Amino acid sequence: MAQNGYLVPADPSAVVTVKKKTPQASWALIDATGQSEPLDVDKYEIMHRVQIHARDLRILDPNLSYPSTILGRERAIVLNLEHIKAIITSEEVLLRDPSDENVIPVVEELRRRLPVGNASHNGGQGDGKEIAGAQNDGDTGDEDESPFEFRALEVALEAICSFLAARTAELETAAYPALDELTSKISSRNLDRVRKLKSAMTRLTARVQKVRDELEQLLDDDDDMADLYLSRKLSSASSPISSIGEPNWYTTSPTIGSKISRASRASLATVHGDENDVEELEMLLEAYFMQIDSTLNRLTTLREYIDDTEDYINIQLDNHRNQLIQLELVLSSGTVCLSMYSLVAGIFGMNIPYTWNDGHGYMFKYVVGLTGTLCVVVFVIIMSYARYKGLVGS
Amino acid sequence: MGEQLDPFSASNLPDFISSQKIGRPVNFEGQTNRGHPFSGLKKRGQSSRSWVKIDQDGNSAVLELDKATIMKRCSLPSRDLRLLDPLFIYPSSILGRERAIVVSLEKIRCIITAEEVILMNARDASVVQYQSELCKRLQSNHNLNVKDDLPFEFKALELVLELSCLSLDAQVNELEMEVYPVLDELATNISTLNLEHVRRLKGRLLTLTQKVQKVCDEIEHLMDDDDDMAEMYLTEKKERAEAHASEELEDNIGEDFESSGIVSKSAPVSPVGSTSGNFGKLQRAFSSIVGSHKSLLSSSSIGENIDQLEMLLEAYFVVVDNTLSKLSSLKEYIDDTEDLINIKLGNVQNQLIQFQLLLTAATFVAAIFAAVTAVFGMNLQDSVFQNPTTFQYVLLITGIGCGFLYFGFVLYFKHKKVFPL
């Protein structure tokens, strides 16, 4: 397999010892014609190629756990969305770890969709309408005139939204039977299953929430969205400020002059951008924002369903306990009455001489009958009082 | 030049001589007195502490400097130096001053100027790591000619943020690896030992959450205020100050006079040192920029300037925010486990009451039998007692009756669906 680019020997002192990461990473380069080439270069080569900071490259490091983020830089869009870690310029896409099983479909989709249509560097007035029409018809053929970077961004967003929606569907499929089983039989095994599911749901909710917040933050800031228009920035920078030339990206301690020229270039970019162009990206982001928002709503619904089930189980357990205690109350009051009956009989059973022992055979019937009647009356009084207080029968 | 670490020991020196000194920090006496500009003050009991100076080329040196020297060197009030005092427990903070950035994050406490980093020397591993890492990065940038566009103070600040975020993230991961097994064990066996274990871990979780929240709030506070971020551009401010050297001299004389008031009046006034190598850049500076410090401050609020620091802070803010999210997830997991353990305990409690119900029913039936036998135990003469066969009849009828009654109770319980659970 031919390797594009040359190997730059990494200085050992340049590598951060703490992280112990290898100096070379596996990248896939996909250009505007759909050609895909693997790259094995170190991070300085990547930094030089797309002119981003080492700090932005650290975001794409698989060993570090960075949350999902979309960053617009001078000449590149840095994407870190779940397993998709990419750098999108106006001409090519650099994708990290292309051999990962989750990333392979993204590579194929990029190769299929990037060559479609002409890479237009000028946003026209009708772009928004055509994009809306294209989304309604589901046809991304000749009518799609998005810039290159937005087509790549759309593929990444679509893959991420589908991925998270699939994870949510998997979680729902596992959660609802487990909750039904827990409702029918409360056992340690079922409780542990629900606990594991809640933990997985919490983690998935945090991931979906992060992607959603990132998209919302982009949508709320027009300047951030304007930063993502790489093609327009490139065409604007080439014509009016050609006399200044390309800024030295690695200038040490830049002077006031170069700063002011950058500021004026940013102002020119702002002047060139009309509302329609920001609207194009806004519609793209809003479509996927609503998709990820519905995924978050499903997770929230699942969360509430689990909480409701737990509350229901708690109420069920309490009701069950109350019934048990009620029956125990009835039996205990019966035991009290029988104990009183036994008390009376025990008194007459004492072997202490008494006048009724001789010649009073008829007293046996009186004692048995009277004591029995008295005990029944006491039992009825106790049960009536319990019913009056609402302890029984409610 | 290699780094030199001198061993030192902590000792308390009573400070009776200088009544104008503010605070009584613990003095660290090093074995080397290199770089001590006030050797005369040493005999008067002035406190000095060990610091590590790292310049732009990655060279480090251990200094013994007292508080007044640090204040004069970096133009800081003593209030900022108190932030770096190991005796006081201050929350994490990043302060931008006129000529320095005072950083106190986790264990790393340092003062960053446009030319050097003055790091509080300590035996902690993170401080040693910061020192070696910063020297390595500065030297590698110097050797490879890889010129990052960040000025010196932001390189130093970035490394502080990076190591602090890594340290907090490592603590969170360590706590996670402890919490999950303990909660699984608690779900299996609810005992006092396991409950105590979880309670202690929740205490650690709360402490760690507060630390991460403080760092997160500090970075967010910086990002929300453009003036605070503009204050941190030390290199630019220094370059602009040199463009107005004549005006700056007057201000520095005033500053020296103020600092002389804090230290004893016999301290000599040190002249303002000008940095060589920047004269070429002065020609490119716009001569139209005129004015006082306020004008310099307002002109440095250009969006392009703020963007540089904002991107730096935002990168680490995202990391700290992610760490905070992991802590929230961990706390939610603990709460979930506790909820399910409560359900499990409720279930077991119901089973206990159910068993007690059966025993109570048996007690009731036995009481019936006892009542019948007690009745016939009375010492009352009656014709029933004349018949010996009555004994068998009484036992047989009562036993069968009680048996049927108990069986009736059990059937009734089944009918009410309270048994089995």
pLDDT at B303 exceeding the cut of 50: no
Residue in B closest to A358 by C-alpha:
B381
Query: Which position has the token pair 């000529």?
Result: B99
Residue B356: CB partners within 8 Å, gap ≥ 6?
A: A324, A328
* 3-state secondary structure string across chain A: CCCECCCCCCCHHHCCCCCCCCCEEEEEEEECCCCEEEEEEEHHHHHHHHCCCHHHHHHCCCCCCCCCEEEECCCCEEEEECCEEEEECCCEEEEECCCCCCCHHHHHHHHHHCCCCCCCCCCCCCHHHHHHHHHHHCCCCCCCCCCHHHHHHHHHHHHHHHHHHHHHHHHHHHHHHHHHHHHHCCCHHHHHHHHHHHHHHHHHHHHHHHHHHHHHHHHHCHHHHHHCCHHHHHHHHHCCCCCCCCCCCCCCCCCHHHHHHHHHHHHHHHHHCCHHHHHHHHHHHHHHHHHHHHHHHHHHHHHHHHHHHHHHHHHHHHHHHHHHHHHHHHHHHHHHHHHHHHHHHHHHCCCCCCHHHCCCCCHHHHHHHHHHHHHHHHHHHHHHHHHHCCCCCC
d(CA B207, CA A241): 54
Residues B84 and B117: beta-carbon distance below 8 Å: no
- Position A250 scores a pLDDT of 33
Mean pLDDT of B157-167: 83
A16 CB neighbours in chain B (<8 A) are: 133
Q: What is the number of structural domains in chain B?
A: 2
Q: How high is the pLDDT of residue B407?
A: 80
- Candidates B325, B328, B334, B323; CA nearest to B180 is B334
C-alpha closest to that of A194 among A177, A217, A210: A177
In a domain, B7, yes or no: no
Name chain A contacts of B339, Cβ cutoff 8 Å.
310
pLDDT in tens, A278-317: 767 777 787 888 888 888 888 888 878 888 888 878 887 8
Residue B169, pLDDT above cutoff 50: yes
Q: Cβ–Cβ of B158/A364 closer than 8 Å?
A: no
Pairwise CB contact (< 8 Å): A195 & B136: no
All residues at 6 or more sequence positions from B293 whose CB lies less than 8 Å from its CB, including other chains: B251
Kindly state whether residue B251 falls inside one of the protein's structural domains. Answer: no
Domain boundary among B187, B213, B228: B228
Residue B71 corresponds to which tokens in the numbers above?
């204040």
| Last residue in a domain, options A66, A87, A109 | A109
In this structure, which amino acid lies at residue A236?
S
CB within 8 Å: B339 and A310: yes
Determine the residue type at B96: G
The domain of B365 spans: 348-414
* Rounded average pLDDT over A247-257: 34
Given an 8 Å threshold on Cβ–Cβ distance, is B416 in contact with A263?
Answer: no
Pairwise CA distance, residues A134 & A283, whole Å: 12
CB A40 within 8 A of CB A26: yes
The answer to whether residue B389 sits within a structural domain is yes
- Name chain A contacts of B289, Cβ cutoff 8 Å: 256
Q: How many structural domains are present in chain A?
A: 2
Give the torsion sign (CA, B141, B146, B152, B156): negative
Are A58 and A116 contacting, i.e. CB atoms less than 8 angstroms apart? no
Please check whether residue A138 lies inside any domain of the structure: no
Res. A208: pLDDT tops 80: yes
Residues facing B108 on adjacent strands: B105
Mean pLDDT over B205-232 rounds to: 81
Distance from C-alpha of A376 to C-alpha of B5, rounded to nearest angstrom: 94
Selecting from B166, B239, B350 the residue whose C-beta is nearest the C-beta of A324 gives B350
Which of B325, B343, B378 faces A349 most closely, judged by CB atoms? B378
- Read off the CATH number of the domain in which B195 is found: 2.40.128.330
Which residue, of B228, B243, B267, is where some domain finishes? B228
B268 has pLDDT over 70: no
Phi, psi for A40 (deg, rounded to 5): -125, 85
The answer to whether the Cβ–Cβ distance between A335 and B281 falls below 8 Å is: no
| B269 secondary structure, DSSP code | P
> At A362, is the pLDDT very low, low, confident or very high (cuts 50, 70, 90)?
low
CA atoms of B219 and B221, how far apart (whole Å): 5
Asked if the Cβ–Cβ distance from B149 to A251 is below 8 Å, we say: yes
Domain boundary among A84, A109, A134: A109
Task: Give how far Cα A212 sits from Cα of A79, B85, B211, Å.
Answer: 14, 42, 26
Closest CA of chain B from A235, distance in Å: 20
| Residues written for chain B | 421
Of A334, A356, A368, the CB nearest to B364: A334
Mean pLDDT confidence for B323-334: 84
Cβ of B343 within 8 Å of Cβ of A260? The answer is no
Looking at residue B150, the DSSP 8-state letter turns out to be S
Contact status of A283 with chain B (Cβ, < 8 Å):
no
Residue B401's pLDDT is what?
A: 92
Comparing CB atoms, the residue among A263, A317, A341 nearest residue B347 is: A317
Give the pLDDT score at A12. 36
CB-CB contact of B94 with B103 (8 Å): yes
Selecting from A192, A203, A345 the residue whose C-beta is nearest the C-beta of B375 gives A345
- Is the Cβ of A143 closer than 8 Å to some Cβ of chain B? no
Model confidence pLDDT, tens digit, residues A113-126: 776 554 433 333 33
Residue A150 falls within a domain, yes or no?
no
pLDDT at position B382 is: 61
- A386 or B77: whose pLDDT is higher? A386
Separation CA A27–CA A37 (nearest Å)? 8
CA distance B193 to B199: 10
Closest C-alpha to A127, from A246, A279, A8 = A279
Q: What is the rounded CA–CA span in Å between residue B37 and residue A185?
A: 80
Residues in chain A: 394
Of all residues in chain B, the one with the smallest CA distance to A325 is: B353
A205 in any annotated domain: no
What integer pLDDT is reported at residue B89 of this predicted model?
65
Residue A28 domain-assigned?
A: yes
Q: What is the DSSP string of B157-215?
A: HHHHHHHHHHHHHHHHHHHHHHHHHHHHHHHH---HHHHHHHHHHHHHHHHHHHHHHHH
Pick among A179, A195, A217 to test the B interface (most B CBs inside 10 A):
A195
Query: Is any Cβ of chain B less than 8 angstroms from the Cβ of A115?
Result: no
The amino acid at B219? I
Q: Which residues of B touch A323 (CB under 8 A)?
A: 416, 418
Residue (of B171, B174, B186) closest to B334 by Cα position: B186
- Chain B CB contacts of A341 under 8 Å are 371, 374-375
Residue B25 DSSP label: P
- The answer as to whether B335 is a domain residue is no
CB contacts of A67 in chain B (<8 Å) are 318, 321-322, 325
3-state secondary structure of B93: strand
pLDDT tens per residue, range A38-82? 776 666 667 767 767 676 776 776 666 667 777 777 668 887 777
Partner residue opposite A327 with nearest CB, options B302, B384, B418? B418
Checking B24-33 for CB contacts under 8 A at 24+ apart, the result is B25/B49, B25/B67, B25/B85, B25/B87, B26/B86, B26/B87, B28/B121, B30/B6, B30/B62, B30/B64, B31/B6, B31/B7, B32/B6, B32/B62, B32/B64, B33/B64
Q: How many CB pairs under 8 A join A and B?
A: 210
Q: Which residue of B has its CA nearest to A19?
A: B166
- Residues B221, B352: one domain? no
Mutate to test the interface with B, among A59, A79, A256, A373 (most CBs of B within 10 A): A256
CA distance to partner chain A, nearest, from residue B279 (Å): 12
Q: Pick from B228, B259, B283: which residue ends a domain? A: B228
**pLDDT tier at B141 (50, 70, 90 boundaries)?**
low
Q: Which domain holds residue A335?
A: 317-389
CB-based contact, A256 to chain B, within 8 Å: yes
Nearest chain A alpha carbon to B350:
A321
Rg (CA), chain B: 39
Using the Cβ of A48 and the Cβ atoms of chain B, whether some distance falls under 8 Å is answered with: no
What confidence tier does B403 reach under pLDDT thresholds 50, 70, 90?
Answer: very high
Same domain, B216 and B356: no
A11 domain-assigned: no
Q: Does position B210 have pLDDT exceeding 70, yes or no?
A: yes
For residue B65, the SS3 value is: strand
Of B318, B354, B382, the CB nearest to A361: B382
Alpha carbons within 13 angstroms on the beta-carbon side of residue A283 total 17
Residues of B in Cβ contact (< 8 Å) with A349: 374, 377-379
Cα–Cα distance between A364 and A315 in angstroms, integer?
52
Residue B15 in any domain: the answer is no
Give a yes or no: residue B5 inside a domain: no
pLDDT tens digits for range B85-118: 666 666 778 878 766 888 887 667 788 878 778 7
A224 interaction partners in chain B (CB closer than 8 Å): none
| Distance in Å, alpha carbon of B64 to nearest chain A alpha carbon | 29
Inside any domain, residue B264: no
A366 touching B, CB under 8 A? no
Residue with tokens 């209030």: B79
Chain B interface mutation, best of A43, A61, A342, A378, highest count of B Cβ atoms under 10 Å: A342
CB within 8 A of B208, min separation 6: which ones? B168, B171, B172, B175, B327
b (16+ CB within 10 A) / e for B30-69 = beeeeebbbeebeeeebbbbbbbbbebebebbbbbbbbbb
Give backbone dihedrals phi and psi of B235, rounded to 5 degrees, phi first.
Answer: -65, -45
DSSP string, B236-264: HHHHHHHHTHHHHHHHHHHHHHHHHHHS-
- Sign of the Cα pseudo-torsion (B392, B397, B400, B406, in order): negative
Q: Which residue bears the tokens 């560097």?
A: A121
Half-sphere exposure of A56 (CA within 13 A, CB side): 23
pLDDT band for position B383 (cuts 50, 70, 90):
low
**Domain ends where: A109, A128, A151?**
A109
More confident residue, A337 or B80: A337
Partner-chain contact B378 A251, CB within 8 Å: no
Buried b / exposed e over B175-209, threshold 16 CB at 10 Å, is beeebeebbeebbeeeeeebeebbeebbeebeebb
Task: Tell if the CB–CB gap between B383 and A55 is shorter than 8 Å.
Answer: no
Question: What are the tens digits of pLDDT across the range B247-265?
Answer: 545 555 544 444 433 333 3
Cβ neighbours of B413 in A, within 8 Å? 327
Rounded distance between C-alpha atoms, residue A84 and residue A37, angstroms:
17
A342 and B305 within 8 Å at the Cβ level: the answer is: no
Question: Does some domain include residue B371?
Answer: yes
How far is residue B349's CA from residue B420's CA, in Å, rounded to a whole number? 14
Q: CB distance from A323 to chain B under 8 Å?
A: yes
Q: Which residues of B touch A262 (CB under 8 A)?
A: 304
